[in-house]
Amino acid sequence: MKLQFWFEFASTYSYPAVMRIEKAAAARGVAVEWRPFLLGPLFHAQQGLKDSPFNVYPVKGAYMWRDLERVCEKHGLPFTRPHRFPQNGLNAARITLSLDQSQRGNFVKAVYQANFVHDRDISDPQILHAAARRAGVDPLEIMAALRSEEIKSQLRDETGFAADLGIFGAPTFITPDGEVFWGNDRLEDALDWAVHGTLRPGQTN
Amino acid sequence: MKLQFWFEFASTYSYPAVMRIEKAAAARGVAVEWRPFLLGPLFHAQQGLKDSPFNVYPVKGAYMWRDLERVCEKHGLPFTRPHRFPQNGLNAARITLSLDQSQRGNFVKAVYQANFVHDRDISDPQILHAAARRAGVDPLEIMAALRSEEIKSQLRDETGFAADLGIFGAPTFITPDGEVFWGNDRLEDALDWAVHGTLRPGQTN
């Protein structure tokens, strides 16, 4: 049983999802497939936006920051509001694509912590280098991903594939039977659906 | 202990919240303050929208309809996708404002069921008349609300007040200490916050 986990490194609500998904998935015997993509091109193509909706619509932004603070507190996750928003997650996404699935979780978590706990610039190769080291990945090997034409076009393909799946935000979870669940709030529902194919497993339908 | 419950009759995710809130609130000893408002003017003022974002951005709309179906199934709520969306909730909102708080729940539920279960036109005074009867409210008395200048201006004031509170969507819950929680997903969190002033009541902060 596998759940596709689509995330964008700039996305705020992806942070609690990234930190929570492994434990929640393991508890249900579900494997996580880490799928980085870029949300910017989708926001532009689908909604004509050139910036995060949280910046374009300040009333939504103000709510999101307070809500995120509460969500993190609820789950016992450290959180510092970053000075830069949204950050450029291009480099981090490329590096992630160059990693095996088994290596991705630790690297991705380290990058989200750099952004949402330590307020670092995650487009900076030095910060990504440090994240790789913390994740037990050989930094020298993966930094090549930043210059790889193959990875570059792979990320473009993944982003196009995300659009084809009906993705318009992050985090998004896709179950084996193709159900789309959007948002950190839907993590448990998506996992339950992956296992049972319904959200009412105890009921006869 | 009281939770303000701001809802718009056209709002899809307000339907499960309307059907769930009384039981969830009673379980925590919280009273519900029913506050109808109009979301259209806020969408226009805050985001420049002249229609529901679910119509303006089809990818979000397609997701919402499927998600709403799943949410309703999860909570055991009947659901039929209405032919009209969004409906005009102006008349229903005016009638609600003319009712005492103790009468509002039953009337509001009857109108949401007319919309999201029976696919009726909730701007139609006959449908509202029937909803009032089902809710045990004297229809003749409250239909006067549709022609009342006082109620008209009261609804305008409430909508302005919603904007001042930072509301940008429905349903929205406001706790006694002023925390804003947006979305049917946040109902339980809002109620817990109303009681404990935190989402981690078991923790010492």
Residues of A with CB under 8 A from a CB of B: 46-47, 57, 59-60, 62-63, 66-67, 70, 73-74, 76, 166, 168, 179-183, 185-186, 189, 193, 198-200, 203, 205
Give the mutation candidate from A67, A167, A175 for the B interface (greatest B CB count, under 10 A): A67
Range in B50-64, B110-124, B132-146 the model is least confident about: B132-146
Is pLDDT above 70 for A203?
no
3-state helix, strand, coil in chain A (%, to 5): 55, 10, 35
Mark yes or no for CB contact B168/A70 under 8 Å: no
A25-58 per-residue burial string, b: 16 or more CB within 10 A, e: under 16: beeeebebebbbbbbbebbeebbebeebebebbe
Q: Indicate the residue of A60, A73, A166 with minimum beta-carbon distance to B199.
A: A73
Q: What percent of chain A has pLDDT over 70?
A: 99
Q: What is the pLDDT of residue B205?
A: 42
CA distances from B96 to A94, B5, B103, B127, B157 (A): 54, 13, 9, 14, 14
Q: What is the pLDDT of residue A142?
A: 86
Q: Per residue in A137-160, pLDDT tens? A: 998 888 899 999 999 999 999 999
A to B CB pairs, distance under 8 Å:
64
Work out the average pLDDT over B150-170. 97
Cα–Cα distance, B112 to B115 (Å, whole number): 5
Q: Per residue in A12-50, pLDDT tens? A: 999 999 999 999 999 999 999 999 999 999 999 999 999
Q: Using alpha carbons only, how large is chain B's radius of gyration in Å?
A: 17
Is pLDDT above 50 for B80?
yes
Mark yes or no for CB contact B73/A198 under 8 Å: yes
Q: Give the position of tokens 């239909």.
A: B143
Q: What is the pLDDT of residue A205?
A: 42
Strand-pair category, B2-7 with B31-36: parallel
Distance to chain B for A205, nearest Cα, Å: 10
> Do B30 and B195 touch, CB atoms closer than 8 A?
yes
Mark yes or no for CB contact A200/B57 under 8 Å: no
> What residues in A contact B76, CB-CB < 8 Å?
200, 203
Cα–Cα distance, A128 to A91 (Å, whole number): 8
Work out the average pLDDT over A79-99. 97
Q: Per residue in A159-178, pLDDT tens? A: 999 999 999 999 999 999 99
Return mean pLDDT, chain A.
96
Distance to chain B for A74, nearest Cα, Å: 5
DSSP state of A186: G
> Do B118 and B80 touch, CB atoms closer than 8 A?
yes
Residue of B nearest to A193 (CA): B70
Distance to chain B for A191, nearest Cα, Å: 14
In this prediction the ipTM stands at 0.95
Cα–Cα distance, B44 to B55 (Å, whole number): 14
Distance to chain B for A166, nearest Cα, Å: 6
Entry pTM:
0.96
Distance to chain B for A199, nearest Cα, Å: 5
> Do B170 and B35 touch, CB atoms closer than 8 A?
no
Mark yes or no for CB contact B76/A181 under 8 Å: no
Q: What is the pLDDT of residue A21?
A: 98
> What residues in B contact A193, CB-CB < 8 Å?
70
Mark yes or no for CB contact A189/B62 under 8 Å: no
Q: What is the pLDDT of residue B203?
A: 63
Is pLDDT above 60 for B21?
yes
